[in-house]
Structure 1
Amino acid sequence: MRWRRVLLLLTILILAYLALAGAWAWTVLDEALATRPVADTAPLSARQTAILLRVEDPTFFEHAGLSIAPGQGVATISSALARDVFLGSGRLDGMNGAVQRFYRGVFNCCKRIDLGRDVMTLVLNSRMSKRDQLTRYVATVYMGTHEGQQVNGLAPAARNYLGKPLEATNEAEFVKLVAMIKAPNQYHPVRGPEALAQRVARIEALLAGRCTPSGWFDTEFKDCVP
């Protein structure tokens, strides 16, 4: 029947799309990393690492790049990093650059259903150690804007929003930074202090074990009533 032929063709096209994404990502990873150098690195303490992962990626050290753990949501640290490395502002040259522009356009159009980034995430996770992923994520995660300038990385965020080095932050201050990550311009210490304070309270309840995420998509921690 005609619909079966259409379905078969669609399946073949999707598989080809994903195969190209994986092969391309494997080939260009080193070049893509070179276009996104990491300058401002600041190692986290064991407690800071535990807080960050509990909120942003509970099974980070166990999963292969993707996860459906409660409270995870659609993005892992690995997938956020893959988006930044492969589809961010870094520009590749030649044919690799043309493929990058294509996948960037697809992702910008259909990011919630685009499986291309998921394949790129699996490639990145297989090629980069978890520790290296975490170091790069901490140094590059988007943290909103401050005085008209984009802030990337937890260390610059600590200096801009808290007025101190990241290593000098206490636990409450670090939780405030982690609380911003989900939507840094919404949970902004200057433009949205009330929303930020509410999210911080929910995260503190989560960390204290007074509540748990209600499902995969519960990144707001709805049962963690302040």
Structure 2
Amino acid sequence: MKKFRKFLSRLCLILLVIIVLYFAFEIIKACLVTPRIMEKALKNVTTKVSDLNQWQLNALLAIEDPNFYEHKGVDLRTPGAGLTTITQSLTKVFYFNQFKLGLAKIKQTLIARYVVDKLVTKDDQLTLFLNTIYLGEAKGKAVFGFEHAAKAYYNKRVGNLTEDEYLSIVAMIIAPHNFHIVDCPDANAERTKRIKKVISGDYQPKHLMDLYYGELDEETQKGLPPASYVPSSIKAWCLKSLQSIKVKLKMLFQWLLQLLVTGKYYLENTSR
């Protein structure tokens, strides 16, 4: 038994060393290719941070990455920030051909923290985000970036959008298909309304994963991972389960009460 435990301990240690070496290699490799990747990407941008007015910039960061200019690529503390910062979003775009949760999420987080945050300025990060973010499809073609979205959905330049139009595009970022401006106008309008409350300060995100600022209807929930809400089906199941537990506890209490009364009656009669 002792030999087996010793073997198991060594095996775990070896696996740990392999994992550490793997991620160290990935970080070093990312450091080497980052200057070339970013130089190429920045040459092809159509929208710069300066193309947004201050209100547009503040609104975007308030929803997508409230602590963007303060954190170091990763933020797991700010309410409403979610699990993916703007820096991590860029890491997913530029360092992964295919992204699957698990080890890829750890790799994404490490590269965002120790490579992108250190080698790419915040303004360049934001510029790339404005140009690469996926914003649904229009007329059968994928839409990437704010300038493309402004033209595709409103036939305007991003700087000429009204506040509501701009926020409707921001509303799509979290789930472009569920909050699509054309295909799901009601869901988009509802999310835009909630975003306005966050920006105005009328609503304060309650925790890290408070991304939808309240519950969503069943149709909007489809295809979304539960984050700040409990899907209706789960909520109904929970309520039904709680009601069943309540009934059973009531029956148990009545049975215990009856048992006590019976026991008391029995003791009184036997003592006479």
TM-score by length of 2: 0.71
Q: CA deviation at 1:193?
A: 0.9
Q: Which residue of 1 aligns with 2:111?
A: 120
Gaps spanning 5+ residues in structure 2: where?
A: 217-272
* In structure 1, C-alpha distance between the alignment counterparts of 2:201 and 2:101, rounded to whole Å: 36
AA aligned to 1:3 is L
**More off after superposition, 58-67 vs 116-125:** 116-125
> Closer, same or farther in 2 for the Cα pair 1:220/1:41, shift >3 Å?
same
* Deviant stretches of 4+, over 2 Å: 2-7, 30-39, 108-114
> Closer, same or farther in 2 for the Cα pair 1:113/1:82, shift >3 Å?
closer
* In structure 2, C-alpha distance between the alignment counterparts of 1:129 and 1:186, rounded to whole Å: 32
Q: CA deviation at 1:49?
A: 0.7
Establish whether residue 132 from structure 1 lines up as the match of residue 124 from structure 2: yes
Contact 2:74/2:109 (CA < 8 Å) preserved in 1? yes
Q: Which residue of 1 aligns with 2:186?
A: 194
Q: CA deviation at 1:134?
A: 0.8
* In structure 2, C-alpha distance between the alignment counterparts of 1:139 and 1:86, rounded to whole Å: 16
**More off after superposition, 37-46 vs 59-68:** 37-46
Gaps spanning 5+ residues in structure 1: where?
A: 88-103
Establish whether residue 75 from structure 1 lines up as the match of residue 84 from structure 2: yes
Q: Which residue of 2 aligns with 1:59?
A: 67
* In structure 2, C-alpha distance between the alignment counterparts of 1:62 and 1:70, rounded to whole Å: 14
Establish whether residue 164 from structure 1 lines up as the match of residue 170 from structure 2: no
Establish whether residue 18 from structure 1 lines up as the match of residue 23 from structure 2: yes
Contact 2:169/2:181 (CA < 8 Å) preserved in 1? no
* In structure 2, C-alpha distance between the alignment counterparts of 1:38 and 1:118, rounded to whole Å: 25
* In structure 2, C-alpha distance between the alignment counterparts of 1:35 and 1:111, rounded to whole Å: 29
TM-score by length of 1: 0.85
Q: Larger Cα Rg: Structure 1 or Structure 2?
A: 2
User: Which structure shows the bigger proportion of residues in helix conformation?
Assistant: 2
Q: What is the total number of aligned residue pairs between the two structures?
A: 206
AA aligned to 1:51 is A
Contact 1:38/1:136 (CA < 8 Å) preserved in 2? no
- Correspondence for 1:4 among 1, 5, 9: 9
Q: Which residue of 1 aligns with 2:38?
A: 33
* In structure 1, C-alpha distance between the alignment counterparts of 2:105 and 2:56, rounded to whole Å: 32
Please give the root-mean-square deviation of Cα atoms over the aligned residues, in Å. 1.9
Establish whether residue 46 from structure 1 lines up as the match of residue 54 from structure 2: yes
Q: Which residue of 1 aligns with 2:243?
A: none
Contact 1:212/1:223 (CA < 8 Å) preserved in 2? no
Q: CA deviation at 1:34?
A: 5.0
Q: CA deviation at 1:80?
A: 0.4
Q: Identity percentage over the alignment?
A: 30
